[in-house]
Structures are given as structure tokens and as C-alpha cells.
Chains A and B, each alone.
Chain A
Amino acid sequence: MLSSSDKSSRLVMTDVCKSYGTTQALNQLSLNIEKPGVYAILGHNGAGKTTLINCALGLEKISSGNMTTLGSKPGDIKAKLRTGVILQNSELPDLLTVNEQIELFASYYHTPFSVTEIIDKCDLGDFANKRYKGLSGGQKRRVQFALAVVGNPDLIFLDEPTTGLDIDARKTLWNVIREFANKGKTIILTTHYLEEAENLADRILIMKAGKIVSDTTPQKIHLEAKGSVIQCQTRLPQSSITSLPGVDSVSKKGKFLEIRSSDDTATLRELIAQDPQISSLTVSKPSLENFFAQIENSESAQ
């Protein structure tokens, strides 16, 4: 059934469709993830991120197409033994301690990390003997992550791992995730935090309506999004700014104008010359946020 090349692949999807009634959750989706690293699947709610992960785990059956996880049919025990997961909205038993949860979960795998090793790696030492019920949100998510990695898996799915966490908790988790990625694990996470993808991912897959509309890297995004974003308050009308040198587009953001320019030096020079009273001037490199907005716009323009 499977070609030999598939075996080295961690996640391969070919023309995969998944529909619930008339809703098309995955639409002719193809994907091939072979290498270690962090893969961020980015998209709005309903874009099909969780469906993709559930299909990859075998929790849901695909309607058509081909799909292998770690060279096996999704949900096969061979794949499960090499997979770790944080499911969306999934909680652990309240009354077991962190140690107990990890020891139990480790026993499901053939070559797991030791409990102490995992506690150390995920930095759970401070609350290893506390019951899950008494932990903070961030601590809970780190315990969930510990369960996802305790089996020493090659492929780790994290479905919105940082949703609902404050920025400190989020950053702590990022560090732990990054560490595992550096050790040769393939981590596929879904997020709608652009910052998360930008900071964490080696590769970013942007999903919309069941399709991957962009497969890129944070670096490429920076390259592709040439030029700068200039924000300011000015008396000049929008129409006259459009004709300034280097300007690609102008948009109004509240009382500010946002000017995209492929040659920020030329644009700025002319801008200040035409309106000496210009205020609140900032210049920045475009972020994933902008890029995502661009993609969205281009999609809707089509």
C-alpha cells in the first residue's frame, strides 16, 4: 500500500477531503512533512486545523484521498506509539498528581522517558506532587505537554497548545517546545496566534476553508513582504499619498494612516517635505500579521 518514500515521511496527505454533511472541512488537501522542526498550522476558527489533526490521529476518518502518519494508517498502533498529542479542550484526571499522570502515561509507550527526566525537561519539579486540579492554567498545559512527549515520540501534535494562557506561560511553553524540536522531533501545532507561529515555527502552513493556501517560513514572509509599514497622522489626503514615490498602498487605521512602501527612505523624505506638521510617525518591518492580512485580502479579491 505504502511506497517506501512514505515511510520516511512523518505526515503525508494527498488530495484529502473530509466533509461533515455539506460542510467541507478539508478540501483536496495535500501535504508532506518529512523533517524535524516546528510546523505551525495557522488559520481562523473553522479553517479546518483541528479536523486536519484529528484525521492525522485517526480520531476522524477522511472522506477521500490518501493519508499516512509516520508511514502507517492514521490511528494504527505503530503510529500511536511514535506520536504525542495535546488535544484541544482536553483535560486530565483532576485527582491524580503530576507524577502519577506521567508515570501512567509513560507506561503506554515502549521507549518512554523516565518520569524524572520528563519532569526535569518540562520544568514541572515545583508541582510534581500536586494534584492536577490545583494547578494553574499554564502549569496544566505544561503537564499536558509532558504527557505528549513522555513517550519519546517522533511526531507531536499540539492543537492550540497556548490558547488561554498569559504571555509568560506561553513563552515558557514555547521554550520547552523549541527544545524538543531541536532534538529532532517533528512538532505540528495549530494556532491562531500569529506571533506564536512567527516565533516558534520553522514552517508555516496557512489554512483557509479546508485548504492550505500558503506554505512558507517566517523568513520567507519577511523577504516576500518587501519594504516597510509607515504609520503617521497627517493632513495630507489619501489620494495624494498614493502618488508619493515607493508607496504600494494606503489604508486608514483610526486616526492614523498606514502606508506600505517598497522604498521607505524615498517615501518618508517626500512625506515629511509635503507635511512638515506630520506627527506620530513610526516605521516598521511588516509582521506575519500584515502578511496574513495580505493573504486574506488577496484570497477575497480573487
Chain B
Amino acid sequence: MNNSFNRTMRSFFLESGAEILKSFRAPEFILPTLLMPVAFYTLFATIVPMGPESAPYLLATYGVFAVMGPAIFGFGISVANERDKGWLALKRVSPATGGSYIAAKVLSTLIFASFSVASIYLVAGFAADVSFTRATWASLLMIHLFSVFPFILIGLSIGFLCNANAAVAVSNILFLSFSALGGLWIPIMVFPPAMQSFAHFLPTYHLSEIALAVSQTSGQGDISYHLLVIGVMTALLALSTALAWSKQRNS
């Protein structure tokens, strides 16, 4: 029993290692996903800030932006690609477990997202004069890292449903529209009312509101509402991902 546990752990470590190496060896993936959020944040929070509150405000929203890239692209494009190439089929006929593959990808995404978020926090703390209590920094980090999960599910669904080319397009469209319409780049308050109400359908909006509330930077409304919506959205996404998973298995 112990032996089999050790074997499972060893295999899981190798699987995670493989995922990390795959990510870090793909500069076309690393550069945009790691650099774009921190570059945008540096630009809007330190070089051309729109107000004294913009650095802490944007920190909350760009943190969500920073984790969304690795999650949607890491899962969407890489799963679609590996499925297209038959690597997933080979894993399925091997004794490898599907759970281990997904879990390894989740961990690799979390590590990636950590670097992305950390780089923004560094700029915020040491260049944009953002200061929070230790507890606030820590809870903000938790919120931001937790935010990968809905996007991972979205990425997985893309990976299961699209071929590699379509996955690139769909991932980009979702990534950009979620960012812009969910208020990650500019607060939704400046949007027309119809767009503001539309934002309520996007996980980015609720996640950034939770982050704003946690960082006490003008989050609006009741945080429990946003937590509830994100909970429901995540559950629905999990369901749709499970459907997509069984669809791709049977096709």
C-alpha cells in the first residue's frame, strides 16, 4: 500500500515536473503571460497613473488579469494541442491517471500564476507605493491564486472542445473580452449601464470585486454576493468541463 502510494507520488511529481518544464521551455507562452500583466500594470500604476488610488485599485484587478493568462492559455491551448497530437490518447491507454495529469497542470499553472502575481506585487509595493497590512497582502494573494480555478475550468473546456488552432483563437477572445468587459483594465463604473450589467456575467468582474473588497480599495456591494456568484459560476464551469471531458473521450 505504502509502496503504491510512493509510486503514485513519484509519478505525480514527474508529471508535474514535465508540465513545469513544458511551460518554462515555451518562450512564446512565458513572455506574453508573464510580462504583459506586469508591463501593463507598471504603465498604468506608476508611469501614467490616473489618480492616487489607481495603483492599489489596479493591483486588485491586474492580479486577476495576471492569473487568467496562465490558466486560460496554459490549459486551453496546451490541452487542445496535446489532444490533437494524440498525446492524451497515448496517456489514456497507458496506466497513467487522468487526475494526475490535470492536477500536475493545475500545480504548474499555480506556480506560473504565482510568478505573474508576484511580479505585479513587487511593482505595486516597491514602485507604486502601495502598502497593505501583512494580512491584507496575504489574503489578496490567496484570492488571486484562488482566481485561477474558474479560468482553469474555462481553459480545460476549451482544450477538450476545440482543436489546437481554434483553441488559440477562442482563448484569446475570451482572455481579452473577460479582461476588458470584466473591468480588469478600467473600472466598469465608466462603462455604459448595459455593459455594467453585462459584467455581472463574467467571473473576472466578481473576482476583481472580491479582490477589491479584500484590499479595501473601494469594492462595491456585498462581498458575499460575489463569492456566491463565483461559487455558482465555478460549479457550472466544473459541470460543463466534465461534459466536455466525456464528450472528447467518446469522440
Contact = CB atoms under 8 A, between A and B. Distances in A.
B95 interface: yes
Interface stretch (B8-16, B184-192, B227-235): B8-16
Contacts of A77: 95
B18 A87 contact: no
Interface of A: 57-59, 75, 77, 80-81, 83, 85, 87, 89-93, 95-96, 100, 103-105, 107-110, 131, 147, 151
Given A80-B93, A87-B89, A89-B86, A108 B21 contact: no
B94 interface: yes
A103 B90 contact: no
A92 B14 contact: no
A87 B86 contact: yes
A110 B86 contact: no
A100 B18 contact: yes
B3 to A, nearest CB: 9
B14 to A, nearest CB: 5
A80 B18 contact: no
Contacts of A103: 14
B5 to A, nearest CB: 13
25 contacts: A58-B93, A59-B89, A59-B92, A80-B94, A80-B95, A87-B86, A87-B90, A89-B86, A90-B87, A91-B87, A92-B87, A92-B90, A93-B22, A95-B21, A96-B18, A96-B21, A104-B14, A107-B14, A108-B94, A108-B95, A108-B96, A109-B95, A110-B7, A147-B90, A151-B95
Contact of B85 (A91, A108, A110): A91
B95 A91 contact: no
B251 to A, nearest CB: 11
Contacts of A108: 11, 94-96
Contacts of A92: 85, 87, 90
B15 to A, nearest CB: 7
* Chain B residues touching A, range: 20 to 34
B34 to A, nearest CB: 17
Interface majority SS (helix, strand, loop, mixed), chain A: loop
A105 B87 contact: no
A59 B11 CA distance: 22
B87 A93 contact: yes
A87 B90 CA distance: 7
A107 B11 contact: yes
A147 B93 CA distance: 12
Given A93-B18, A93-B22, A95-B26, A105 B94 contact: yes
B82 interface: yes
Interface string B57-97: 00000000000000000000000001001110110111110
Given A90-B85, A109-B95, 19 more contacts: A57-B93, A59-B89, A59-B92, A59-B93, A80-B94, A80-B95, A87-B90, A89-B86, A90-B87, A93-B22, A96-B22, A100-B18, A104-B11, A107-B7, A107-B10, A108-B11, A110-B7, A131-B25, A151-B94
Interface hub of A77, A103, A105 (most chain B Cβ within 10 A): A105
A105 B94 CA distance: 8
Nearest to B88: A90
Contacts of A93: 18, 22, 82, 87
B161 to A, nearest CB: 19
Interface hub of A83, A87, A108 (most chain B Cβ within 10 A): A108
Given A85-B93, A107-B7, A107-B10, A90 B86 contact: yes
A77 B94 CA distance: 9
Nearest to A85: B93
Smallest CB-CB A-B distances: 6 pairs: A90-B86, A107-B11, A91-B85, A95-B25, A80-B95, A57-B93
A87 B93 contact: yes
Interface hub of B7, B21, B92, B94 (most chain A Cβ within 10 A): B94
B115 to A, nearest CB: 18
A85 B82 CA distance: 17
A147 to B, nearest CB: 8
A96 B17 CA distance: 10
Contacts of B15: 104, 107
Contacts of A87: 86, 89-90, 93
B142 to A, nearest CB: 31
Contacts of A107: 7, 10-11, 14-15
A300 to B, nearest CB: 34
Contacts of A95: 21-22, 25-26
B16 to A, nearest CB: 10
Nearest to B4: A110
